[in-house]
A and B are shown apart, each in its own frame.
Chain A
Amino acid sequence: MAREARAVRGAERVESTSILIVEDDGTIAGMLSALFRRGGLNPTTVRDGKTALSLVAGSEPPALAVVDLMLPHLDGFSLVAAMRGSPRWKDVPVVMLSARQLPADVTRARELGVREYVQKPFDAKQLLATVLEALGMPPR
């Protein structure tokens, strides 16, 4: 209980504009990064699930994570499941990106508490608006 309370305080200390992008396609990852910087946010990009997992294990949580479903080494769902199991990361809102449109995936995302399941190709402006809204920031 006490540990959890500390964890919540820890989460509050986090810089409120930090975004973690987990996306393996270099062009799209760069696009997301540029987009979020444009929105006044502070993005960090990771290119595979395992590196992202090591962040979950040892780093401060971001204000929000944008996770691609199909990732090298560890898929998006497993990554989000690991986040949910981490005391510090469990409340990080997640926006999931996927080129797959299987109903089973959408259900799984909902079960994992994914905030928004965004279909690829995505609309850049809409995605930025979604992320800003999730952070409780005014749309630009």
Chain B
Amino acid sequence: MTGLAALGVVPWIFLGYFVALQLTYVVLDLLALGEIRRATPPGGAAELPQSYSGLEPPVSLLVPAYNEAPTIVAALWSMLQLEYPSFEIVVVNDGSTDATLEVLKRELDLRPFPEATRISVPTRRVRGRYRSERFRNLRVIDKENGGKADALNAAINSARSPLVCVVDADSVLQRDSLSRAVRPFLEDATTIACGGTIRIANGCRVSEGFLEQVGLPRSWLVRIQVVEYFRAFLFGRLGWSPLNAMLIISGAFGVFRREAVVAAGGYRTDTVGEDMDLVVRLHRTFRLSGTPYRIVFVPDPICWTEAPESLRVLRAQRMRWQRGLLESLAAGRSLLFHRRGGAVGWLAFPVALLFDALGPVVEVVGLALMVVAVVAGSLSVPAFLAFLLAAVGMGLFLSASALLLEAMSFHAYQRPSQLAALFGAMVAENLGYRQLTSWWRLRALVLWLVRRPGRWGTMERSASWQAPGGPR
């Protein structure tokens, strides 16, 4: 009897877990709302950048490139057009096996450049350094293949500016992306890193690397991801920002204080989630040493990225994100409930662990148990539907609140038909998509636990180069 009573607690635990998860998100939702109110001027954002003109520190844009021969030049063209007074671009050719270096040499008129570089973080061997005769603020480093993190480390060694901006070669930028992301560094001298909202570029009109017009993709698979990105950036980033406890800045676009990155040891080369890993390590380095610092998030959409349109690519992306999350959390575990861990160690870390890392387990196991119970006849169909209603209802509520914040702030999707499509995607997400991504994440968790590096070895590398960065 006591055994049965103990078992009776199990469904309550599941329900309690979901309620705790939703409540956490609602709190983050409210924090994000406060941030948006603070950051968004009612008369449009046009006036703000002007108030800072002339005071921006120089920025080094770091662009890792691996087999990007067809697109790299167009990407660089778009970066050269950024509205920012003083920046340099450091492209790193990470041992590409295609004609990336040849294309760069031809199009940019590269000449060997005898650069006496500081080695702040160790990297694979650098084969050559070049500077463009056409664009004097553009340099290219040619090095042996070592992965994206290693390429970024080489770029950090070569960067001259106090701020570095890490940007994916396939990111679609806005001309004011850089000035918006640098603003927090001007407003607070202890800022060491800044991320911004990433949106999905599928369906938008893009011309030469710049966004011309916002649009929604036709594919429902991508539309659902648009809604997902809303939520991810509001709950995962913006809500945490006022607590100074944001755990990730997307690899697609982020600005860092160079010295801080070097102090944290640069990018780690043995993880698939080097972007999250760096931010976790920055928190750990500064928290544990007691140095005041801020890692902030600007809610402005500053970078648009191509989302996967096929299930196969989406699965690879989600499994990679989940693995990156687990690796970063494992590497930074000393922060968890650390005496000096602050909001990171006592809130963000436990939440990431409980809901992001273990969420898929609870979700998949909970669903499976319920289905089994219905089939076995111990759970009535109405009861099953009630649970389903609760889960779907709470998910919808969060998506709708994300949609509301979007409409209050940027208002990128303006037509009523777009609103209807987003609402449709919100509902559709619950019909299979959510379960599928949970399943993939669960698989990634299991794979990580049993550590089968052989299966990850080759796939992980190509994925880390090809899949666009985004929310987790």
Residues of A within 8 Å of B80, CB to CB, are: 75
Residues of A within 8 Å of B24, CB to CB, are: none
Q: Is the CB of B81 within 8 A of A100?
A: no
Interface residues of B in 199-218 (CB under 8 A from A): 207-208, 210
Q: Is the CB of A72 within 8 A of B53?
A: no
Using CB atoms, name the residue of chain B closest to A100.
Answer: B85
**Which residue of B81, B85, B136 is within 8 Å of A72 (Cβ)?**
B81
Docked complex Cα distance between A99 and B207 (Å): 25
Whether a CB of chain B sits under 8 angstroms from the CB of A92 is no
Using CB atoms, name the residue of chain B closest to A71.
Answer: B81
A31 → chain B closest CB, angstroms: 16
Q: Is the CB of B85 within 8 A of A75?
A: no
**Which residue of A50, A70, A73 is within 8 Å of B83 (Cβ)?**
A70
Whether a CB of chain A sits under 8 angstroms from the CB of B333 is no
Interface residues of B in 174-214 (CB under 8 A from A): 175, 207-208, 210
Q: Is the CB of B208 within 8 A of A73?
A: yes
Interface set of A (CB-CB < 8 Å, partner B):
50, 70, 72-75, 99-100, 104
B413 → chain A closest CB, angstroms: 22
Q: Provide the main secondary structure of the chain A interface.
A: loop
**Which residue of A73, A74, A99 is within 8 Å of B53 (Cβ)?**
A99
Interface residues of B in 81-115 (CB under 8 A from A): 81, 83, 85
Residues of B within 8 Å of A74, CB to CB, are: 81
Residues of B within 8 Å of A72, CB to CB, are: 81, 175, 210
A-B contact pairs, 7 of them (CB 8 A): A50-B207, A72-B81, A73-B81, A73-B210, A74-B81, A75-B81, A104-B136
A86 → chain B closest CB, angstroms: 19
Residues of B within 8 Å of A70, CB to CB, are: 83
**Further contacts, 5 of them, CB under 8 A, given A73-B208, A100-B85:** A50-B207, A50-B208, A72-B81, A73-B210, A104-B136
Residues of A within 8 Å of B136, CB to CB, are: 104
B53, B80, B81, B175, most chain A CB atoms within 10 A: B81
B180 → chain A closest CB, angstroms: 16
Docked complex Cα distance between A85 and B169 (Å): 31
Docked complex Cα distance between A50 and B210 (Å): 13
Residues of B within 8 Å of A73, CB to CB, are: 81, 207-208, 210
A97 → chain B closest CB, angstroms: 15
Docked complex Cα distance between A74 and B175 (Å): 12
Residues of B within 8 Å of A75, CB to CB, are: 80-81
Using CB atoms, name the residue of chain B closest to A73.
Answer: B208
Docked complex Cα distance between A73 and B81 (Å): 7
Docked complex Cα distance between A99 and B84 (Å): 11
Residues of A within 8 Å of B210, CB to CB, are: 72-73
Docked complex Cα distance between A75 and B53 (Å): 19
Residues of A within 8 Å of B207, CB to CB, are: 50, 73
Docked complex Cα distance between A100 and B83 (Å): 11
Q: Mark B323-356, 1 if CB is under 8 A from A, else 0.
A: 0000000000000000000000000000000000
Interface residues of B in 377-400 (CB under 8 A from A): none
Q: Mark B53-87, 1 if CB is under 8 A from A, else 0.
A: 10000000000000000000000000011010100
Docked complex Cα distance between A99 and B86 (Å): 12
Residues of B within 8 Å of A104, CB to CB, are: 136
Residues of A within 8 Å of B53, CB to CB, are: 99
Docked complex Cα distance between A74 and B208 (Å): 10
Residues of B within 8 Å of A100, CB to CB, are: 85
Docked complex Cα distance between A50 and B78 (Å): 13
Docked complex Cα distance between A75 and B210 (Å): 14
Residues of B within 8 Å of A50, CB to CB, are: 207-208
Using CB atoms, name the residue of chain A closest to B207.
Answer: A73
A73, A75, A99, most chain B CB atoms within 10 A: A73
A70 → chain B closest CB, angstroms: 6
Docked complex Cα distance between A99 and B54 (Å): 9
A25 → chain B closest CB, angstroms: 10
Docked complex Cα distance between A104 and B83 (Å): 17
A52 → chain B closest CB, angstroms: 14
A33 → chain B closest CB, angstroms: 20
Docked complex Cα distance between A70 and B80 (Å): 11
Docked complex Cα distance between A100 and B213 (Å): 28
B55 → chain A closest CB, angstroms: 13
Docked complex Cα distance between A52 and B183 (Å): 31
Docked complex Cα distance between A74 and B80 (Å): 9
Docked complex Cα distance between A72 and B175 (Å): 8
Docked complex Cα distance between A83 and B175 (Å): 24
Q: Mark B412-429, 1 if CB is under 8 A from A, else 0.
A: 000000000000000000
B136 → chain A closest CB, angstroms: 8
Residues of A within 8 Å of B175, CB to CB, are: 72
Docked complex Cα distance between A43 and B53 (Å): 29
8 nearest A-B pairs in the assembled complex, by CB-CB distance: A73-B208, A70-B83, A72-B175, A100-B85, A73-B81, A75-B81, A72-B81, A72-B210
Docked complex Cα distance between A73 and B211 (Å): 11
Docked complex Cα distance between A74 and B207 (Å): 12
Using CB atoms, name the residue of chain B closest to A27.
Answer: B46
A73 → chain B closest CB, angstroms: 6
Docked complex Cα distance between A100 and B53 (Å): 10
Using CB atoms, name the residue of chain A closest to B134.
Answer: A78
Docked complex Cα distance between A72 and B80 (Å): 10
